[in-house]
Amino acid sequence: SEHQEEVQINVDAWDKSIQEAIFVIDDNFMIVASNNMNQGRSAFDILDQQVILESLVNGVVAQSYGNIVNQNTTIPVMNMTFPIAEGKKVFGVIYVRVDMTSVYATISQSKQIFVQAMIIGLAITVVLGTLISKSITTPNNDMTEKTKKMAQGDFSQEVAVKSDDEIGRLAEMFNLLRTQLDMTLIEMSGEKNKMET
């Protein structure tokens, strides 16, 4: 209490931002100095009692999360207390209350960006999956249809080779088989004609 003015000058020298409220509390739970004109009030009236007691009694740094209501607006805050001690004797507490609105807004915005990125990623995956499956099934279906026609005796079928992968090589083999079969049938027909002659 005897150094109240000096403490208040030091508190005033710190950066006064809307984001932080700083209080210096003595061992009688009175606010000795603050950067928001609460000097002389009981700390229990406006601050989190639990963290104040934890620092004053146990001499440890304590923190809590909560909300304060300011002009019909609820503001999320983080409270931290730092003991002022000499040896094991605690004389008071420095209490810092930080407005967490911007932090929560950033977290919320990050979640939105993550969800949007996930949706875009899923859409791209679906499109690519569809394109890849079509690139596999279309040539297979084409070969199946042409094989059926060959089984019915139409050897004029030819499969278009569109790639150099396994399916492309299969299409090449199909075309080679068709050519060989066609040539064999022509040869057999020629031999049959010779025999008949």
What would the pLDDT profile of 61-77 be if each residue is shown by its tens digit?
Answer: 999 998 888 778 888 88
pLDDT in tens, 1-15: 556 666 666 655 555
CB contact at 8 A, 68 and 39: no
pLDDT of residue 133: 85
The values of phi and psi at residue 22, to 5°, are -120, 135
**Cα–chain-centroid distance for residue 86?**
46
pLDDT of residue 62: 92
Kindly report which listed range (89-103, 129-143, 149-163) carries the lowest average pLDDT score: 149-163
Residue 17 has what pLDDT? 47
Q: Can you give the pLDDT at residue 18?
A: 45
Q: What are the CA-CA distances from residue 195 to residues 184, 190, 191, 192 (Å)?
A: 16, 9, 6, 5
What whole-number distance in Å separates Cα of residue 61 and Cα of residue 94? 10
Q: What pLDDT, on a 0 to 100 scale, did the predictor assign at position 6?
A: 61
Q: Which of 21-30, 145-154, 167-176 has the highest mean pLDDT?
A: 21-30
Is-contact 64 77, C-beta < 8 A? no
Could you tell me which residue, 133 or 165, shows the higher pLDDT? 133
How far is it, in rounded angstroms, from Cα 34 to Cα 41? 10
Predicted TM-score (pTM) of this structure? 0.55
Residue 93 has pLDDT above 60, yes or no: yes
- Residue 14 has a pLDDT of 57
Beta-sheet strands, E only, within the chain: 20-26, 31-34, 62-70, 73-86, 89-99
What is the mean pLDDT of the segment spanning 176-180?
A: 82
**Predicted confidence (pLDDT) at residue 132 exceeds the cutoff of 60:** yes
pLDDT, residue 3, reads 61
Whether the per-residue pLDDT at 150 is higher than 70: the answer is: yes
Q: Rounded to an integer, what is the distance from CA 138 to the centroid of its chain?
A: 37
**Integer Rg of the chain from CA:** 42
Residue recorded with tokens 């930080």: 98
